Amino acid sequence: MKFAVIVFPGSNCDLDMYHAIKDELGEEVEYVWHDETDLSGFDGVLLPGGFSYGDYLRCGAISRFSNVMSEVVKAAEAGKPVLGVCNGFQVLTEAGLLPGALLRNKNLKFMCRTVGLKVENNETQFTSAYQKGEVIQIPIAHGEGNYYCDEETLTRLKENNQIVFTYASENPNGSIEDIAGIINEKGNVLGMMPHPERAANDIMGGSDGLALFKSIVKQWRESHVNHA
C-alpha cells in the first residue's frame, strides 16, 4: 500500500507521519507538496498536523484552497482512505469532507500531553484492530481542538455511528460530547485531534496509535490484494 503525506507550508508533523508509515508499518510513503495536482498513484492520503499557512484566518482555512485539496476530495470520493490528524482534521472540516468545526480550546491555551481515548466505533477501516470501548493512550498537541457542531449534525453523527473516538476521562479542550475523532458517512475519511503517529513505537512513549495504521492496511489488502 502506498501513502501520500500531504505537506503544506507550516506542516510540522509530516516527518512523524512518514516515520510511522515507513519505519514502523513498513509500507510505501511519499511526501506530496501542496501544489501537486495528481494523487492517482496513491492508495491512501494522510494530512498531518502543524500550522498550515501559519493558521491565518482560521486553522486550515487557507489550505482548503491548495491545489492538492481538489485531489484529496477526488481520493475521498473514490473511496480511498483519508486521514487528517490535528491540523489535518481542521483542513478536512474546512474542505467540507467532515462536518463541524474546530474552535479554540476552552481554556484558550495550547495543550501538549498524552490523553486517554475511548474507541467508540471499531467497525471502521481505521479502527478494526482495536476493541470497542478500549481506552488507548495518544498524545495531543493543539490550541484549536474544541470540536463543535450544531444539534442536527450531532444527532446525525450519533445515528450513523460516526463518532469514532472520545476523550476517556478528561476532555482537554471542551469539545462537544467529548468528541476526539469523527468519520464521514461513507466511512473512508477520518479526522482526529490526537496524534496516533506519535504513538507508533514504545520508545516514543507508547505504541497504541500503530494499530490505527495497521487497520488501514489490513482493510486495503482485504479489498485489493485478496480479491485481485
Residue 197 is among the residues annotated as catalytic for this protein: yes
| Domain range enclosing 80 | 2-225
DSSP states of 114-159? EEEEEES---STTTTTSPTT-EEEEEEEESS-EEE--HHHHHHHHH
Closest C-alpha among 206, 120, 204 to residue 167: 120
| 228, pLDDT greater than 60 | no
Residue 227 is among the residues annotated as catalytic for this protein: no
Residues 46-57: what's their mean pLDDT? Answer: 92
Catalytic residue among 13, 59, 149, 195: 195
Residue 13 is among the residues annotated as catalytic for this protein: no
Catalytic residue among 27, 94, 144, 197: 197
Q: Residue 22 is part of a domain; what is its CATH number?
A: 3.40.50.880
191-220 pLDDT per residue, tens:
999 999 999 999 888 999 999 999 999 999
Domain count, the chain: 1
Catalytic residue among 27, 86, 94, 144: 86
Share of the chain above pLDDT 90, in %: 90
